[in-house]
Amino acid sequence: MAPGVVEDSSIRADVAVKGVGGGADFFASLTALTTALNANDGNGIRGAFASLDAVNKQVGNALAKVGASMDAFEAAQSVAASSKLTTTTALSKEQDADVFEASSKLALANHALDATLTASAASFRMSLVDKL
């Protein structure tokens, strides 16, 4: 997920279980099945099973949505962890400079500067008479 992208972290139970918005009501389906079984009503039992099949699909869709959201969150968490590790590694490289190596390089550069300044000073002391 990119920064600023919002992902739902929940599902609507009223849609998944109660059938709000055109679905089947789980509890009403169970009640209808119970009533049909008690009355030994074959058509009622078949109708209750059809309703329970619709509820099963609703709950399955809700679980699929939860799974997709979990995958998105896990991917975002993985990216964040990787970014944190990369940043920590880069920061560590910057902060953990080897003091002895840095001071050796500084001394070497200082020696090279002294040699350059000495050579420059010597070249300015030469005159035309020195060349002849």
Q: How many domains does the chain contain in total?
A: 1
- The better pLDDT of the pair 98, 43 is held by 43
Please, which contacts does 98-103 make with residues 24 or more away whose CB atoms are closer than 8 Å? none
Report whether pLDDT(32) > 90. yes
Whether residue 33 lies inside any domain: the answer is yes
Whether residue 103 lies inside any domain: the answer is no
Q: Which domain holds residue 62?
A: 13-95
Q: What is residue 125's predicted lDDT score, i.e. its pLDDT? A: 63
Percent of the chain with pLDDT over 70: 87
Whether residue 18 lies inside any domain: the answer is yes
Whether residue 26 lies inside any domain: the answer is yes
Whether residue 115 lies inside any domain: the answer is no
Whether residue 5 lies inside any domain: the answer is no
pLDDT band at 31 (very low <50, low <70, confident <90, very high): very high
Q: What is residue 17's predicted lDDT score, i.e. its pLDDT? A: 86
Whether residue 116 lies inside any domain: the answer is no
What is the reported pTM? 0.56
Write the DSSP assignment of 38-65 as a string of letters.
Answer: HHT-HHHHHHHHHHHHHHHHHHHHHHHH
- The better pLDDT of the pair 9, 19 is held by 19
pLDDT band at 122 (very low <50, low <70, confident <90, very high): low
